[in-house]
Amino acid sequence: MMGHEETDVHESREEMESLVLDEPSNGRSSSDNPLLSSASSSFIDRQSPDSSFNTFLDPPSYAEAIFTSFDSSSNGHDESPRLSSNSNPRSSDYLYISVSDPQKEQELSNSLVSGGTTYYTYLITTRTNLPEFGGPGSEFTLRRRFRDVVTLSDRLSESYRGFFIPIRPDKSVVESQVMSKQEFVEQRRVLLERYLRRLAAHPAIRRSEELRVFLEVKGKLPLARSIDVASSVIDGAARLPRQLLGDEAMDVSAKGGRDLLRMFKELKQAMTNDWGGTKPLVVEEDKEFMERKERLVEFEHQLSNVSLQAESLVKSQQDIGETMGELGLAFVKLTKFEMEEALFESQRARATDTKNVATAAVKASRLYRELNAQTVKHLDKLHDYLGIMLAVNNAFADRSSALLTVQTLSSELASLHLRIEKLEAASLKIFGGDRSRIRKIEELKETIRVTEDAKTCAEREYEQIKENNRSELERLDKERHDDFMSMLRGFVVNQAGYAEKMANVWEKLAEETDHL
């Protein structure tokens, strides 16, 4: 029974779309809905230049300059929040990335079994005038698979700690099982393009060596090392001297190096045993940062609520448009019946009036759908900023992790000094000293020297991450203001413009039926 009803609805919609109205109108469907789907895709070419109901054409009474200022700039294409290249002092710099032409390829393996696994690659085209990519007129293409994007994301997370790094698309295993292959591949193409464009809009990442290699150098990307949370604290401390001081900072004795490695292993085990696999409370002393962090937490909560209401609005407008279309189609059928059965002129006049109502209802339905597309385009910015908040939280986690590394090394230094004091006290009780204890003390002193170097480097990295957080928060505040003002003004102007268009449709109908 349900299948029969759905078939009837589908057929009615097709019939409604095929109606020839007195005025031309685009009959495009707005079934794709970024606010109602996690696979938010752009409304590319949703509006036809030939349509009399196009937002950019024939605004009822609003000045055309005002009406187009929030729509024509994007031409219906997906626009992510900027956090952008506008921060770059040279506004003429550009880095344009497009993703196209998905192709299925065979996984190369040494297996004797024919077939094997397949995967898709995407053609990535880059146009730029940035000197890091070769300067003005640079253009190059290569093919990448999703695994390469994951590697790029991991490498950026390691190299740009404390920055608000855009979140890469998920692997979407569930969606790949419930969607058709073609739909899934196209969805992934759109999301990958959005992700790469967001990276290109970031003032620091757009000039990074990691992004340049991904976009320009053909071949397989070297995999980033994957480590667990507990290891990242200890291994991060071990890597700090080389990262921040250079290779010369690692010029320690073999014995000292072995002691440092052993110390980190013991410390890691102690952390696992004492903390039960969880990190201890990290004490952040920057009160101004903590206040801003709390405000952002509340902002994220409010943003999530507004996003849910935006989804409800889009769904409601979609329902109204579909219901209005069904009403128009029903009146069309009634008109046809009246005309076929008409015996008197009054019946034909009534049929004409009924046709006018049907025409107005179908026009209103199409206007609602166009309005909905514009609503999605503007309010989808809310979803984009929810993604940005994930990046903000990751940057704050980098800060907490760096502070934890400093605290862990400080605690271990205090423990090492205490061990030396105990060994020295015990050695004094033996006439002439205890050679084994003295040798152990010297080893511990060497370990302390290396650990102090690591702590110094950890403190530098922590301060750098704090500075990255600070600059990113300033950028977020400024661009959030600009983005939200543009979003709200565009949303309001389109609501007002389409409300006036719909009012004109019904006012004209009221004049035509004034004789009733």
Residue 254's alpha-carbon distances to 60, 257, 259, 266, 467, in angstroms, are 81, 5, 9, 18, 35
8 A C-beta contact, residue 324 and residue 361: yes
Please indicate, yes or no, whether the overall pTM of this predicted structure exceeds 0.85: no
- Label each residue of 408-470 as H, E or C: HHHHHHHHHHHHHHHHHHHHHCCCCCCHHHHHHHHHHHHHHHHHHHHHHHHHHHHHHHHHHHH
Residue 90 one-letter amino acid = R
Task: Establish how many alpha carbons lie within 13 A of residue 93's alpha carbon, considering only the half-sphere containing its beta carbon.
Answer: 20
Residue 173's alpha-carbon distances to 34, 151, 190, 480, in angstroms, are 19, 18, 16, 32
Under DSSP, is residue 144 helix (H, G, I), strand (E, B) or coil? strand
pLDDT at 397: 92
pLDDT tens-digit map of 9-60: 445 555 555 555 554 444 334 444 434 443 333 333 333 333 333 333 333 3
pLDDT at 37: 45
Would you write out the chain's pLDDT as a tens digit for each of its 516 residues?
444 444 454 455 555 555 555 544 443 344 444 344 433 333 333 333 333 333 333 333 443 333 343 344 443 344 444 444 344 444 588 899 999 999 888 877 655 555 568 888 999 999 999 888 888 888 999 999 999 999 999 999 999 999 999 999 988 755 656 677 888 889 899 999 999 999 999 999 999 999 999 998 888 876 555 444 444 444 544 444 444 444 444 444 444 444 555 555 555 555 444 444 445 555 778 889 999 999 999 999 999 999 999 999 999 999 999 999 999 999 999 888 888 876 777 778 888 888 889 999 999 999 999 999 999 989 888 989 999 999 999 999 999 999 999 999 988 999 999 988 888 887 776 655 567 878 888 888 899 999 999 999 999 999 999 999 999 999 999 999 999 999 999 999 999 999 999 999 999 998 887 765
In DSSP terms, which residues pair with 208 in a beta bridge? none
Q: H-helix or E-strand containing 238?
A: helix 229-240
pLDDT at 338: 81
Residue 205's alpha-carbon distances to 190, 199, 224, 460, 478, in angstroms, are 20, 6, 17, 21, 19
Beta strands in 129-248 (DSSP E): 138-145
Report the first-to-last Cα separation within the chain, whole angstroms: 41
Distance CA 398, CA 404 (A): 10
**Six-digit token string for 37:** 């789907």
